């Protein structure tokens, strides 16, 4: 328990002081805006190439605690997360999915996970109207806290397309063992980045102030 508190404290310090480089230009426009949280948000990118270096469970626990501390409707915590960091288990899941989608190139199906060494499978409680938002907010906390600790991430909708509603993928859902009624909703890959992609453009025109 003490170790976990220490790790969370260290993560908080890292979050406040992190400087991943790519977001600095934005943050330095005004000194009053420069802080670690903004830098982390602006520097995070989706990572699709990973080193094989494993992510320690201590680090993963910090990231996951940040995830479940996301705001969520009525604090129902209408999510469940399964963490797969064992390459053999991940390979088993990929193999079932490849066989369950015979019309697809098996390498393409397996590639939907982007070879991230850690995969989070996140399910939601569909009986709660806002559970998809809860999952989204948890996911963002996961990805930002990961980035602040030097761990890259990728949010993945594609695996859900291959698994959801596909009877032949039932063994995958059995392995994940979510609670009765929960629906697989999103995956997040985590690992140490082996690429440094440029930021994709964003359209500030989508935001308007009302005078
Ligand atoms: C709900 C959702 C699903 C996504 N699914 C995939 C996916 O299946 N494969 C993938 O490579 N990227 C996926 N992405 C990542 C987006 O392509 C990426 O976030 C976007 O292009 C912006 O790039 P950035 O994250 O580097 O800022 C997904 C992102 C979200 C939010």
Rounded distance from Cα 153 to ligand 1 centre (Å)? 10
Cα distance between residue 158 and residue 149, in whole Å? 26
pTM: 0.88
Q: Average pLDDT in the 12-33 region?
A: 45
Look at residues 34, 52, 31, 32 and name the one whose alpha carbon lies nearest to residue 43: 34
3-state secondary structure of 122: strand
Average pLDDT over residues 75-98: 98
Q: CA 68 to CA 141: how far, in whole Å? A: 8
> How remote is the CA of residue 131 from the centroid of ligand 1, in Å?
20
187 lines ligand 1 (CB under 6 A): no
Q: Report pLDDT digits (tens) over 154-186.
A: 999 999 999 999 999 999 999 999 999 999 999
154 lines ligand 1 (CB under 6 A): yes
How many percent of the chain have pLDDT more than 70?
84
Whose CA is closest to atom 15 on ligand 1?
155
In a domain, 116, yes or no: yes
Q: What is the pLDDT of residues 62-76, one digit of tens each?
A: 999 999 999 999 999
Counting the structural domains of the chain, the total is 2
Do 113 and 148 fall within a single domain?
A: yes
* Domain-embedded: residue 204: no
Residues 34 and 64 occupy one common structural domain: no
Strands (E), the chain: 79-84, 118-124, 152-156, 183-191
Question: Are 173 and 76 in a shared domain?
Answer: yes
**CA 210 – ligand 1 centroid, Å:** 30
On the question of pLDDT at 84 being above 50, the answer is yes
The answer to whether residue 201 scores a pLDDT higher than 90 is: yes
Q: What is the residue-wise DSSP string for 15-76?
A: HHH---STTHHHHTTSGGG--HHHHHHHH--B---B-SPPPPHHHHHHHHHHHHTS--GGG-
Say how far apart CA 123 and CA 121 lie, in whole Å.
7
Query: Is residue 24 one of the residues assigned to a domain?
Result: yes
Contact predicate 204/148, CB 8 Å = no
Host domain of residue 55: 46-196
Tokens (6 digits) for 163: 């698994």
Alpha carbon of 20 to ligand 1 centroid (Å): 20
Same structural domain for residues 76 and 6?
no
22 CB within 6 A, ligand 1 = no
């Amino acid at each position: 328990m003490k170790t976990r508190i220490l790790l969370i404290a260290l993560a908080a310090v890292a979050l406040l002081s992190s400087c991943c480089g790519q977001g600095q230009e934005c943050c330095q426009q005004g000194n009053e805006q420069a802080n670690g949280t903004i830098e982390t948000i602006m520097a995070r990118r989706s990572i699709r190439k990973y080193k094989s270096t494993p992510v320690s469970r201590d680090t993963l626990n910090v990231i996951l605690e940040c995830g479940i501390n996301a705001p969520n409707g009525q604090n129902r915590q209408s999510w469940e997360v399964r963490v797969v960091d064992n390459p053999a288990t991940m390979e088993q899941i990929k193999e079932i999915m490849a066989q369950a989608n015979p019309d697809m190139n098996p390498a393409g199906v397996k590639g939907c996970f982007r070879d991230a060494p850690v995969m989070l499978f996140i399910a939601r409680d569909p009986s709660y109207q806002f559970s998809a938002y809860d999952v989204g907010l948890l996911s963002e906390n996961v990805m930002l806290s990961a980035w602040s600790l030097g761990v890259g991430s990728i949010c993945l909708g594609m695996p859900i397309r291959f698994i959801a509603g596909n009877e032949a993928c039932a063994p995958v859902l059995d392995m994940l063992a979510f609670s009765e009624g929960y629906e697989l909703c999103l995956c997040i890959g985590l690992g140490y980045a082996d690429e440094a992609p440029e930021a994709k453009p964003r359209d500030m025109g989508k935001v308007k102030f009302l005078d």
